[in-house]
Amino acid sequence: MNEAPKRKKAVVIGAGASGLVTAKYLLESTDPLFEVTVLEAQPKPSKSGLGVGGTFINKVYDGTRLVSSKYITAFSDFRMVPTEQADCCHPITHTNHPTAKDYVKYLEAYSEKFHVSKCFKFGCKVISLKTNELDKDSSDGDVDENGYIVQYQQTINNETEVITEHYDVCAVCSGLHNVPNIPQNIVSLETSFKGSILHSSEYKDSSIFDNKRVLILGSGETAMDIALRAIQNPNSKSVALNVRRGFLSIPHNLAEDRPLDVFITNLFEHSYEHPWVHALRLRWILSTIVIRFFLFLTGSSVGFNQWVCETTPVKRGYHIINKSHGAMSHLNVPIKSKSLIGRFWMKVYGEEGLRPIESFHKTSVVGVENDGKTIRFDDGRTYEADLIIMATGYKQSFPFLDEKIQAEYRQEAMDGELPKESSQLLNPQSSNYNLREDYLPSQHFITGKKRPRLGFIGFVRPNVGAIPPMSELQVMWWLCRMKTKVNLLKRDPKVPPSYMVLGAKYQYGVDYGNYMHRVSEDIGAAPSLVTLWKISGFKGLFTYSMGQSHIPLFRLEGPFASNLCWSITSNELWQVCLNRGFAENFGLVSICVISLWMNLAACGLELLWCCITFRKPKFFVRY
């Protein structure tokens, strides 16, 4: 009798959304077969729930809701809306943006559906992930053919045991929100400030604002959420927001059935775009003109009804949009109330009578006055506070990762494998160095050049998109990379990847659609217009061309092709496009028509240039 093929051992660190989708794909792999273990640091819940969800369990606060829509956040073969196949979805139909509790239920159902729950080991904190002693030290080929040694501390019923195991492949899915970032200027206040100082990860409900003068530090979505809850608490005395660099505010829901993240197109922007058009950012320039005009119609051209805390430049492709918009009306009040035109817009938006939030923009905390409560900023202004909330984000940290591996990733960054802005932010010798973050590997921030069996899933930041679908595509790419079935595009190390967000605020910020297309091209999963027309006709073609880069689109072709995803494209995603309305779709089609002429002009110029230089034209090559 033939022996059953030996399974390789795989470990997934973290049971959040990225960890679950990674484990699911590893379990479904047949070449090779995997025995999968998911290590989760949190203990197993004693009452209800599976204990999965990561950030959506550990870092949630009152009324937490996703700012990405259910259409883009859901995984490719387990949707959040009803489909023709009743067993392929967990319907969340009452809102475009699920609550954190609803999303955790979705992740639990996903785990059960795809048998991931059998792989969980709770209360397991990873201590170290080291290279195997048998690793070959060679300049050619992969260096991790013999896998990795993982040591973790398992706690069960208050008893702790340290376990060491060998794994053939390792996936780091520990999440973006693990180690709070505490600014040094706030650390220095801890002995002189007589009030309370909390990181946003400790915030749970608005009762902590009772009888407090609140200062919130930060400009992200969490900062805006907490500011709104603080000002809506009738017992809070006052609220202020300190923003160093500003932000671009646009609400996550433009109308009842019109989530912001579905107002993106693929055709001539991420696909079938001439490299010259992309290099000149012509599509982004066109989009910027349209976006600025739209914003102007809301009362301000620097953000949606945004009169304070603006950032620069307000251009497409430069920023990760702040989609938590509720506090914006309160921030506007002190500025709008000073002018006639401002009071007009207050009336339009119903902002009259709202409690104001004071904003301290483009300044930083430098100290505390002798009274122990008055905060002093470097522009000379002051604010009297009882409570400081640091919504200052998190540091990307892998304390368990072997220094040898970290040194390799650091070297890749310093060799120019990461964009210039990122290298400056992460280089201790750079004047821009401030976060002291650990490095991600260089190949799409998933693997290092010589370590295909060690994957980092779910660490890139999309501008207008969601991390879970990006994690799913990263896992598909990673599985192909381990089998050397990836057609990596060779690029000049001095030129950043085409998908990077151009602003230097986020070192791993990417343009969502561009990243999805570039990664999918490597494994032959980017859908072609010809195939779309042949199989699903106008519906499929329009959905892809005029729609967002939803993850089911990258399972229409390639190594992970799925008939279910064809059905989802022609039904659910087609309906998403229709729900945008005639005017919005007409505008998007018009932009694509203009983009078509840009690309045709580029093709014509290239043909002319090739005639002069006697070269063969390439037209729409990968970039």
Token duo for residue 419: 């964009």
Q: What pLDDT does residue 436 have?
A: 63
pLDDT of 137 strictly over 70 = no
Q: Rounded to two decimals, what is the model's pTM? A: 0.94
Q: Is residue 464 within 8 Å of residue 512, measured between CB atoms?
A: yes
Give SS3 for 235: coil
Rounded to the nearest 10°, the torsion over CA 471, 476, 481, 483 is: 150
- The first and second tokens of residue 156, run together, are 């069960």
Average of pLDDT values for 209-218? Answer: 97
Give the tens place of pLDDT for each residue, 541-570.
999 999 999 999 999 999 999 999 999 999
For residue 429, pLDDT over 50 is answered with: no
pLDDT, tens digit, for every residue of 55-86? Answer: 888 888 888 999 999 999 999 999 998 776 66
Alpha carbons 529 and 276: distance in angstroms, whole number: 21
- Is residue 12 scored above 80 in pLDDT? yes
- pLDDT score for 420: 47
Q: In angstroms, rounded to a whole number, what is the distance separating the alpha carbons of residues 200 and 218? A: 10
Nearest to 97 by CA among 128, 132, 72: 72
pLDDT band for position 3 (cuts 50, 70, 90): low
Domain with CATH 3.50.50.60 in the chain: 8-64+99-178+395-516, 182-250+303-392
Length of the chain: 623
The pLDDT assigned to 156 comes to 86
Residue 428 pLDDT grade (very low, low, confident, very high; cuts 50, 70, 90): very low
Q: What is the 3-state secondary structure (H, E, C) of 146-203?
A: CCEEEEEEEEECCEEEEEEEEECEEEECCCCCCEECCCHHHHCCCCCCCCEEEEHHHC
The backbone torsions φ and ψ at residue 538, rounded to the nearest 5 degrees and listed phi first, read -65, -40
Q: Which whole number is the average pLDDT over 396-425? A: 76
Query: What's the pLDDT band for 95 if we cut at 50, 70, 90?
Result: confident
pLDDT of residue 135: 58
Q: What is 8-64+99-178+395-516's CATH topology? A: FAD/NAD(P)-binding domain (3.50.50)
Confidence at 140, pLDDT banded by 50, 70, 90: low
Residue 164 burial (CB count, 10 A): 11
What's the average model confidence in pLDDT over 599-620?
Answer: 93
At a CB cut-off of 8 Å and minimum separation 6, what does 186 contact? 197, 217, 365, 388, 390, 392
Tokens of 346: 């207050």
pLDDT at 4: 65
CATH number for 182-250+303-392 (one of 1.10.3720.10, 3.50.50.60, 1.10.150.20, 3.40.50.11390): it is 3.50.50.60
pLDDT digits (tens, 9 = 90+) for 25-55: 999 999 899 999 999 999 988 677 788 988 8
Q: What pLDDT band is residue 431 in, cutting at 50, 70 and 90?
A: very low
Percent of the chain with pLDDT over 70: 94
